[in-house]
Structure 1
Amino acid sequence: MTVPVILDCDPGHDDAFNILLAAAHPRIELLAITTVAGNQTLEKTTLNARRICAVAGIRDVPIAAGRDRPLHGPRRTAADIHGESGLDGPGFGTGEPVVPQDPRDALALIRETLLAHRAPVTLVPTGPLTNIAALLLAHPDLVGRIERIVLMGGSTGRGNTTPAAEFNVLCDPEAADVVFRSGLPVTMFGLNATHQVRATPAVIARIAALGTPLSRLCVELLTYFASTYREVYGFDAPPLHDPLTVAHLINPSLVSLVRAAVTVELNGTHTRGATVVDLHGVTGRPADVEVGMEVDAEAFWDLIVEAVRVLGTPSG
């Protein structure tokens, strides 16, 4: 059976590969893509989603722009990691992508897609959770149309934007709090899991060996991504965070999961945006979130390489 999915994202290099994986794999029914401000401004993340769909031949998935700032507090971006465009590295040119932007806003597209689909839909947010929180606050009647939320964000340990907080959650802690307290089934893939899937030179060589225009673009994306992760964090290879969400939906055995209570810190002087993950049940709160732990990195990269191959092959 296929898994009907709406991607909510802020492309972003790793988001780009998540779009490719969701569009390429037959187990995923990609219904819509919505964008949010995060890795770059909303205008840029929306353009980037259209660019990726255009170069990959993804023509039948609507793309709508969502919120351009968090529910509360100032907007932040990650230009130090993703560049001024949000997808620095390849040359996309200056023309408009052939894939258009849907005239609806993200919340309207999500709402109409949920209502129109024959079965509940899985929401896959891989950026700040602003759009998803806004949807839940504005349309609580839609909860029954949502199968689950599978997100990239947070960590069981330390952060990457502050010592305590991961970027997506820190961008809008109040939105993350709404999502984690929504009562919906939530699966969280945080830095503790995503740092296990790094795009090593051997991985990049596998993609380069495909020898297609799409594979060359993917190599350019990963090469740039590697350079910023090396400069900012000292990593020898960059972690491809976001595709772990869709990879899990394709192959649920790819990541081991534990159940835990997860709380978002909203007020800490040094810890705002931290995800407090109660792995040992010491708080007594319900263990109502699935948390990704150990990853089969080889199986993950097999999925990514195959997605680039499929979408890069004219008959694919």
Structure 2
Amino acid sequence: MTKQQIPIWLDCDPGNDDAFAILLSIFNPRYKLLGISTVHGNAPLSMTTHNTLAVLDLLNIFKVKVYKGEERPLINSPRYALDVHGVTGIGGVELPKTSINKRVTSVSYVDALRDAIEANAHEICLVATGTMTNISLLIEKYPDVIDKIKYISVMGGSFGMGNATPYAEFNFHTDPHAIKAVVDKLQDKMILSPLNLTHKIIATADIRNQIYNEDDETKNSPLRKAFYDILMFYSKAYAMLEDMNTGPPLHDPVAVYSLLPIVDGNCAEYGYKYLRRKLDVVIGGPHEGESIIVNKSVPLDESENEGVYIGESLDAKKFWNCMLEALNTAELNLK
């Protein structure tokens, strides 16, 4: 039986791993990508917007509408991750300075996103792989859309670890006020892919050879080389970490993929396990951006009846098969 397509909207800050999220959103047949909004985060907004358009060029896709979002956090000063993603925001590949794709300027991202939610009420799922500034301003301006969003799948947060500070993940730390606003209003619909999950999705040598292999004529196309180089540049930030010396993790497409087990209501099929808990986010101080489980009276390994779906594990082989199939389809799209 053919499974129903999921209408999605991608809010992102490309970013090397965001490129893979865009790839999966377009070339996995389960998703119907309605639009993309960009946001500050891994790089300044001008870069994340250009990178989005250029990745679409790379994929030979010219019908996805792209909207420029917010260029700074709600309150805090901007922070970027150019040390991880390179001086252009997507390191390892030379994207054209001028893209064929152009962003939509006739309507704002917040109005376009509201219109997409209204047109796909109770079916649309948002996927947020960057800071949550855009989403927080959406629900502030149009609170009526909250009930019409089916799920929001978020890459962000961490528990007992961090990559921006010892306590906080980058997306949560960069705009903690925004993620707190979204968590407060949308957490019963939120699927979270924290570092604790994404650090388990490693691009091993075998996976990398399936993405690109110069000695295999079926795996050495320019498109494959581009995504391989994007991945390998990103891997430099992780190469020195003891638990990731077999390859880099791939964060953002995990948030796209994690919709499938929840929407399908069949976690076993995807080897997906989650813990459902009420969350809060720390504002201010050295722990700013830290993800906090609210109800301490419930054992930490037990779920509550409401709250965020916190991804704990998934079948990495099935994830990578899905990712590689998307790359194969993208390659066919160029022929």
Structure 1 Cα separation of the partners of residues 80 and 244 of structure 2: 20
Q: Aligned partner of 1:295: which letter?
A: L
> What letter is aligned with 2:225?
R
Partner of 2:195: 191
Alignment of 1:249 with 2:259, yes or no, is yes
1:229 matched to 2:262? The reply is no
Is residue 126 from structure 1 mapped to residue 129 from structure 2 by the alignment? yes
- Which of residues 297, 303, 306 in structure 1 aligns to 2:325? 306
Amino acid at match of 1:102: V
Q: Give CA deviations for 1:10-39 in whole Å, capped at 9, x if unaligned.
A: 000111101000100111010000000000
Q: Residue in 1 aligned with 2:23?
A: 20
| TM-score in terms of structure 1 length | 0.93
> What is the rounded CA distance, in whole Å, between the counterparts of 1:314 and 1:147 in structure 2?
30
Confirm or deny: 8 A CA contact 1:212 1:313 kept in the other structure.
Answer: no
How many residues align? The count is 314
The more displaced of 120-129 and 229-238 is 229-238
Cα-to-partner distance string for 1:58-101 (whole Å, 9 max, x where unaligned): 2211000100000111100001100110101111233x111111
1:260-307 alpha-carbon deviations (Å, 9 max, x no partner): 11110113x221100013586269997411100012111111111111
Question: 2:63 aligns to what SS in structure 1?
Answer: coil
**Distance apart, 1:230 and its partner CA:** 2.2
Deviations 1:101-123 (A, max 9, x none): 11133212211222233653111
What letter is aligned with 1:194?
T
Distance 1:54 1:311 in 2: 12
1:273 match: 289
Distance change (3 Å), C-alpha of 1:86 and 1:234? farther
Partner of 1:214, secondary structure, is helix
CA change 1:118–1:288 in 2 (3 A) is closer
Distance 1:221 1:279 in 2: 40
| Structure 1: tracts of 5 or more residues without a match | none
CA offsets, 1:25-56, max 9 Å, x none? 11101000000000000000000111111111
Paired residues of 2:273 and 2:314 also in contact (CA < 8 A):
yes
Tell me the residue number matched to 1:218. Answer: 227
Q: Give 3-state SS (helix, strand or coil) of 1:229's partner.
A: coil
Give the Cα separation in 2 of the matches to 1:116 and 1:66: 20
Q: Are the equivalent residues in 1 in contact too, given 2:60–2:333 (CA < 8 A)?
A: no
1:261 paired residue number: 278
The whole-number CA distance in structure 2 between the counterparts of 1:258 and 1:136 is: 25
Q: Is the aligned partner of 1:291 residue 2:310?
A: yes
Change (3 A) 1:285 1:178: farther
Q: Distance in 2 between matches of 1:160 and 1:279?
A: 25
- Where structure 2 has 5 or more consecutive residues not aligned to the other structure, the ranges are 214-218
> Which stretch of structure 1 is more off in the superposition, 76-85 or 254-263?
254-263
Normalising by structure 2, we get a TM-score of 0.88
Report % sequence identity.
32
**Hey, what does 2:216 align to over in structure 1?**
none
Q: Which moved more, 1:113-122 or 1:255-264?
A: 113-122
Q: Aligned partners of 1:238 and 1:212: how far apart in 2?
A: 22
- Calculate the aligned-residue CA RMSD, in Å: 2.1
CA–CA distance in 1 between the matches of 2:53 and 2:31? 19
The residue number in structure 2 matching 1:100 is: 102
User: Is the 8 Å Cα contact of residues 28 and 250 (structure 1) preserved in structure 2?
Assistant: no
SS of match in other structure, 2:239: helix
After the TM superposition, which of the residue ranges 13-22 and 240-249 deviates more from structure 2?
240-249
What corresponds to 1:40 in structure 2? 43
